[in-house]
Amino acid sequence: MELSELWFGLIAILFIGFFFLEGFDYGVGILLPFLGKNDRERREVVNSIGPVWDANEVWLITAGGAMFAAFPNWYATLFSGFYLALFLILVALIFRGVAFEFRSKDKHPKWRTFWDWAIFFGSAVPALLWGVAFANIVRGGPIDADMHFTGNLLTLLNPYGLLGGLVTLTLFTLHGALFLELKTDGDIRRRVDGVVKRVLPVVVLLTLGFVAFSAAETTMFDDVNFVQIIALVGAVGGLLGAGYTSMQRRFGLAFIGSGLAIVFVAVLLFASLFPNVMPSSTDDAFSLTVYNASSSQYTLQIMTVVALIFVPVVLIYQGWTYWVFRHRITSDGELEY
């Protein structure tokens, strides 16, 4: 295996980790204004992710940094071609981060309501646009011989891309709801049960529709491999398992099920993409691959050594954080946010 192939796999793992962890963050933020009927309940919802939301975003920063160093041509084409979409994501994430810090600075109801809706939009916009972006990466875009993306924002807002956005939006909402079943009790958890029952069928239908649309719109299933089959079965199985175990009140297994669905959907996209990193709809010869978009061998060797040293440290630290804040947020407990 070449180092460029290895780093494609590592970047895929970083994005998968980001979608798994930040996915429930987004879902909790999307549900915040609807589940909390008063300030106390909304504070419980916010506190469920308060200690971990910023650490989860580190996975995105790391993935972007790894892409910049390992595949500079991929990074340049992606971030220039998808500039407006990624800029909207960045603005939403900044607004969301500010909202978490500012909502508790004043007890006035209008102040807190404003920042609650800021958290909602700061969660919903990235949840939608990440799906739009990755669907368009798999679909392929207008890339010329100089590796320049020649489209615009409207090019990305095609039916296939928007369907991909709806898949991630609803899937993350479900993931966040199942996380809240783990972390809350009382009236909030009873409302979450209703959300899961309504959202789950929508997620399954959208996911199956996206797969069918992919077969018609892209080359995703032109040469099906074993990884794609496992990923497709795993995604649907994870969703169905999440629904069944949620009804059985086995919330830990339900959350794992939705998490596996997110993981397998991401695996399906990356497995379908390889060896391309950005296919060209203009001419296959203009597609960016793990070979023509990568850095030098020496750069990849240094990056590999650094990753072997520091990635385990980060994983241990984040695992410790989740262990410390593993307890349920109760209706009579103390709240920070």
> Is position 313 within any domain?
yes
> Is position 19 within any domain?
yes
> Is position 330 within any domain?
no
> Is position 200 within any domain?
yes
Which pTM was predicted? 0.91
46, HSE (Cβ side, Cα atoms, 13 Å): 28
> Is position 333 within any domain?
no
Q: How far apart are the first and last CA of the chain?
A: 48
3 state SS of 337: coil
Amino acid in the structure at residue 257: G
H or E stretch at 213:
helix 186-217
H or E stretch at 159:
helix 159-183
Domain residue limits at 231: 3-140+149-324
3 state SS of 141: strand
> Is position 82 within any domain?
yes
3 state SS of 289: strand
Q: Are 206 and 198 in contact (CB under 8 A)?
A: no
Amino acid in the structure at residue 119: I
Taking alpha carbons only, the member of 3, 14, 2 closest to residue 301 is 3
* CATH code, domain with 37: 1.20.1630.10
Taking alpha carbons only, the member of 137, 179, 132 closest to residue 157 is 132
> Is position 167 within any domain?
yes
121-177 confidence digits (pLDDT tens): 999 999 999 999 999 998 888 888 888 888 887 888 899 999 999 999 999 999 999
> Is position 243 within any domain?
yes
| Helix orientation angle between 83-102 and 53-70, rounded to the nearest 10 degrees | 150
The full DSSP string for 1-60 is --HHHHHHHHHHHHHHHHHHHHHHHHHHHHHHHHH-SSHHHHHHHHHHHTTTHHHHHHHH
Taking alpha carbons only, the member of 5, 126, 13 closest to residue 62 is 13
Number of domain units in the chain: 1
Digit-by-digit pLDDT tens for the chain (337 residues) are 689 999 999 999 999 999 999 999 999 999 999 988 888 888 888 888 888 888 888 888 889 999 999 999 999 999 888 888 889 999 999 999 999 888 888 888 889 899 999 999 999 999 999 999 999 998 888 888 888 888 887 888 899 999 999 999 999 999 999 999 888 887 888 888 889 999 999 999 999 899 889 888 887 777 778 888 899 899 989 999 998 998 888 888 999 999 999 999 999 999 988 888 999 888 888 889 999 889 989 999 999 998 888 888 888 888 888 888 777 776 665 566 5
